[in-house]
Amino acid sequence: MSAKERSSVSIGGLTLSLSNLEKVLWPRDGYTKGDLIGYYRSVAEPAVAHLKGRPLTLQRYPNGIDAQSFFEKQMPKGMPEWIERITVPTPGGSRSHVTFPLCNDEPSLVYFANLAAIVLHVWTSGVLALDEPDFVLFDLDPGEKCTLQTLARVALQVRDCLNEIGLKPLVKSTGGYGVHVVVPLAAGYSYETAKVFAEIVARQAAAELGELASLQRTIAKRPQTAVYIDYVQVGLGKTIVAPYSVRARDGAPVSTPLHWAEIEAFGRRRSGMAPADEFAKLTIRTTPARLAREGDLWGPKSWKKQRLEGPSAKANRLWREEG
């Protein structure tokens, strides 16, 4: 490999060797691996804050987004010792244990980007308590014919249900077509408790939305104009696309924390507009400036850990009476 194809960078007292920086990963946009690394460096502080201490699955695209990709849970061979890791027992499967990498600092983030790990998936719990979720997740997945207006209306209904029982959720784009609504949790809840709670809220929201929402897990049986409210992603070892992770789609969109006012505005957009048309504006080119302007909307000031006992009791009282 020529000197032009390889370079080195010093970050946090470590020297990283970077390769093939001119390799195009997004053929129709011309974005290169160097662009990917540059983006992740520009958002390293908030990105690492959401990655830190969570088992990480890399989704790698060594030959670009049009070529074959692969998921990598097991710590890649040859990874330097300074990258932290955690070994987790795995019941069933081909391995008794999996050693997951952790992304606890900017050098680790850059190292993974240099592997063409475009998408970063993390557990919803951290290494200090792997069996306790840090948040309740509602993954809102629009059907192929679903409009941005409908997606916004469903997201707002989930928010309103949570508000009604005293909870304050946060929201972000997935970087694809949907949104994630989350409720940050205080310590001590099991995945089972969080999942039961998520189902109660999802069923109430779906009941109020009628044909706009679906709880049907089988894609072929869902109305394509509706939004699937997925609450079963709450589970040990299940992952979420991390905030500020890039996606392997044209335009290099980014999973981006949003204001609820933005979701409200989406509901007022022209009829027929697709969710992807709006979320395509949140990219590796636009996100750094947005961060500089807005700050991290999922940062410490907004990430308020909440308890479920009171809201669960209120939901049981209010929604059972309504039913």
Residues 205, 229 contacting (CB under 8 angstroms): yes
pLDDT at 234 over 90: no
pLDDT band at 94 (very low <50, low <70, confident <90, very high): low
pLDDT bracket for residue 96 (50, 70, 90): confident
Q: Considering only residues 94 and 169, tell me which one the structure prediction assigns the higher pLDDT.
A: 169
pLDDT beyond 50 at 67: yes
Q: How big is the CA angle at 237 (ends 73 and 103), to the nearest 5 degrees?
A: 50
Q: Tell me how crowded residue 159 is: count the other CB atoms within 10 A of its CB.
A: 21
Q: CA nearest 184: which of 243, 227, 104, 142?
A: 243
For residue 42, report the phi and psi dihedrals to the nearest 5 degrees. -70, -25
Kindly report, residue by residue over 268-313, the tens digit of the pLDDT.
877 778 898 899 999 999 999 999 999 999 999 999 999 999 999 9
Average pLDDT score over residue span 81-96:
82
C-alpha torsion angle, residues 308, 311, 312, 315 (rounded to 10): -160
d(CA 316, CA 313): 5
- Report whether pLDDT(2) > 50: no
Closest CA to 227 of 265, 261, 171, 180: 180
Domains identified in the chain and CATH numbers:
8-123 (3.90.920.10), 135-237+250-322 (3.90.920.10)
- Strands 213-214 and 227-230, by their bridges, are parallel
Rounded Cα distance between 258 and 260, Å, is 6
* Confidence band for 3, pLDDT divided at 50, 70 and 90: very low
pTM of the prediction? Answer: 0.94
Element (H, E) at 139: strand 135-142
Alpha-carbon gap, residue 256 to 280, rounded angstroms: 11
Which amino acid is present at 294?
Answer: E
